[in-house]
Structure 1
Amino acid sequence: MEILIFKKVPQKILIIKPSSLGDIVHSLPFLNAIRDRFPKSEIHWVVARGLEGLLEGHPMISKLWIINKDNWKKIKNMKGTVSELKDLFKSLKKEKFDIVVDLQGLLRSGVLAAATGAPVRIGFNEAREGSRIFYTHRVKGGKDIHAVDRYLKIAKFFGCDASDVKFPFPLSFSSQLSAISPQAGSFQLPKEYAVFVPGARWRTKRWPSERFGELASILPVKTLVVGGKSDIDISNRVAAGSKGNAMSVAGMTSIKELVDLMRKAKFVVSNDSGPMHIAAALGVPVFAIFGPTNPLRTGPYGKGHTIIRKELKCSPCYKKTCKDVRCMDIIDVSEVAGIIMQSCKEASKL
């Protein structure tokens, strides 16, 4: 593989990876590799508002650039967006970055990379929406490869040693639920608990909430159901069907608190989602339920995880809508419970 030769150590490096939660987690080994390669360089990161909690206070990052990318999509905000982008472009250019790495690979991120005026702008050869025209160097990422390994290909292009994959999270944060939200009251964390993640951005990636609830009622361990504000209804249905064995904290935790809850869990049962990737990165055993997406590309990274999936001709399809979502619907509770119980028995965890 070709390696970029540096005449001098870059003083400033900008990583463009605004979203999503899981993708940012997948980018952490890249950050670790770059920091090891250039220990004295400033590393800046462009992140979407609402996800900055995963990177705030990170000892490897000198500065976060928080962007309101969701507002940019709204026609009614066009005037404000144009003004905001002008200011952002001006500020980025003032930084005089030596290197910009676009891990997002979309038109918007490509334009941001070009706006910096950096002499070296790197992205993937397969980048979408024409964003590759804004790069000075392109790296072949590949398709049937995990996102973590794909990002590390750019690290290798820098001459980084990417053999030791690490997910550097910021420091641990308190996970006392009574401090998270008044709704949690005086609730204290169980000594041992599992975490369920019934939500997902796509409807097709969601295993039915009723089955998560039934699963919680079967397993001999207390369960915390997590998610964002948009997952509150789903999570409440899981808790309602658990026969008192699960509690929903969806919408009550910050990203930092979610990381700490995951860190202390015995195991996690999840759809293909951002929190699933947090758990895997922390080394917590994950039982991942997959349907329309490919676990080779977006499954839990590393060892000790279990993929629960049906081999159907139509899967993976990457469709966000489906009339019956058969790939998820034919996965039954007893099958999932059996896999978890057997795995935990072998690991002497239950």
Structure 2
Amino acid sequence: MSPVVIPARIKKILIIKPSAFGDIIHSLPFLNAVKSTFPNARIDWVVAHGLHTFLEGHPMIDKLWVIKKDQWKKIGYLKSTLNEIFGLVKGLGKEKYDIAFDLSGILRSGLITLASKAYMKIGFEESDEGSPFFYTHKIKGGMDNHAIDRYLKLAGFIGCDTSSVNYPFAPFDNHSDICNILPPNYVVISPSAGKPANQWPAEKYGELASMLPLPSVVISSGADAAIAERVVKFSQGKALSIAGKTTLKGLMPIIKGARFFITNDTGPMHLAAALEVPVVAVFGPANPVRTGPYGSIHRVIQKKLPCSPCYAWQPCSHWRCMNELTVREVFDVVKEMTET
């Protein structure tokens, strides 16, 4: 589809991408392309509570519409949810956006797009849950493209230059207090994942850490601290857990200072790729074409099985994609990368 002719006087743009962490990082090149084309436009962003801290203070974003979306399906929060939704609908409607972009493509984000009352409501034609019904312009993103390239197609549709991929981050501290306890030369391991099926066993990460020539720093959320501690347990004293001890922005100097980043398919993996830290990514049922680390300096390790990728949420009965992936296979890839 050819780009549409968009007047340069566009004043207000809304980006709808509440979550997840990795998806928000994928959206930053889109934000950069749009702001570069429309430098005088106001850009607002609908983001989930908790993840909003990563975007706070961003010089390209004028306002964050923060929603507690995780509570919206919980009956105990019905009253507060209704108040939040009514306030969001009323507030968005008053803004008179020229363009609203739905990068999520589900029913909730489609309804938020509708609520924006934007003159142009743009999303993907293959989006889920009926969300394209709410768009004025439907763009073919393609399901066999990386998420970053798909998002940039929306920017290209309104005439933005998408020839380069740049990640504009909100300001962050280049040296947090926790950096003081880290070894001078280290690898970061991220052993948790949003989907249990995407999680290579923690004891294997621990065994891998025991074989590496460098010490490992293990990161995760506080909720997944037990996974990080299991990695430490099997590392023979060569891993340090800082699980739950950093903010999202606080992860940035830690990852930026690493020699390598070894991980499952998870949000911090995309942060490492954006920071140009070499990534070794362990993939099972997920599709690295869509959600792998973006860039040529990274390596994806995935068993070639007829059932993969299956996009499963929970491990299946055999879970061969993860169970049959050995520590030695991953170690060999890391070793190869260190020698090149």
TM range (shorter): over 0.9
The aligned length equals: 339
Do the aligned residues in 2 keep the contact of 1:177 with 1:189 (CA within 8 Å)?
Answer: no
Amino acid at match of 2:132: R
Q: Name the counterpart of 1:37.
A: 37
- Equivalence map 1:308-323=2 (5 Å): 308-321=301-314, 322-323=316-317
CA distance in 2, matches of 1:175, 1:49: 25
- What SS does the corresponding residue of 2:104 show, helix, strand or coil? coil
Distance in 1, matches of 2:243 and 2:3, equals: 45
Which residue of the partner structure matches residue 110 of structure 1?
110
| Greater Cα offset, 201-210 or 77-86 | 77-86
For the aligned residue pairs, the C-alpha RMSD in angstroms reads: 1.2
Contact 2:8 2:38 in 1 (8 A): no
Q: CA deviation at 1:8?
A: 4.6
For residues 73 and 175 of structure 2, the distance between their equivalents in structure 1, rounded to whole angstroms, comes to: 35
Aligned residue for 1:291? 284
- What is the CA-CA distance between 1:36 and the residue it aligns to? 0.7
Cα distance in structure 1, aligned partners of 2:158 and 2:69:
28
CA distance in 1: counterparts of 2:205 and 2:260, whole angstroms: 14
Counterpart residue type for residue 144 of structure 2: D
Secondary structure at 1:112 match in 2: helix
Alignment CA distance shift 1:176-1:50 (3 Å): same
Counterpart selection for 1:212 from 195, 205, 225 = 205
Match of 1:327 among 321, 324, 331: 321
Return the TM-score normalized by structure 1: 0.94
Q: Spell out the pairing of 1:1-350 with structure 2 (5 A cutoff).
A: 1-178=1-178, 188-321=181-314, 322-346=316-340
Kindly provide the amino acid, as one letter, of the partner of residue 171 in structure 1: P
Asked if structure 2 preserves the Cα contact closer than 8 Å seen for 1:29 and 1:167, the reply is yes
How far off its partner does 1:168 sit?
1.3
CA distance in 2: counterparts of 1:18 and 1:169, whole angstroms: 17
SS of alignment partner, residue 122 of structure 1: strand
**Following TM superposition, by how much is the alpha carbon of 1:343 offset from its aligned partner in structure 2, in angstroms?**
1.2
The whole-number CA distance in structure 2 between the counterparts of 1:5 and 1:342 is: 48
**Secondary structure of 2:254's aligned partner:** helix
Q: Give the gaps of 5 or more residues in structure 1.
A: 180-186
Alpha-carbon shift at residue 201 of structure 1 (Å):
1.1
Local SS of the residue matching 2:250 = helix
| TM superposition shift of 1:171 | 2.5
Runs of 4+ that moved beyond 4 A: none
Structure 1 vs Structure 2: percent identity of aligned residues?
A: 50
Given residue 264 of structure 2, which amino acid in structure 1 is its aligned partner?
N
Partner of 1:184: none
Contact 1:176–1:189 under 8 Å retained in 2: no
Distance in structure 2 (CA, Å) of the matches to 1:230 and 1:103: 27
Q: Which runs of 5+ in 2 are unaligned?
A: none
Cα deviation, residue 230, structure 1? 2.0
Counterpart secondary structure, 1:3: coil
TM-score (norm 2): 0.97
Compute the displacement of 1:79 (Å): 2.2
Q: CA deviation at 1:83?
A: 1.6
- Give how far 1:265 is off: 0.8
How far 1:215 moved relative to its partner? Answer: 0.7
Shift of 1:175: 4.1
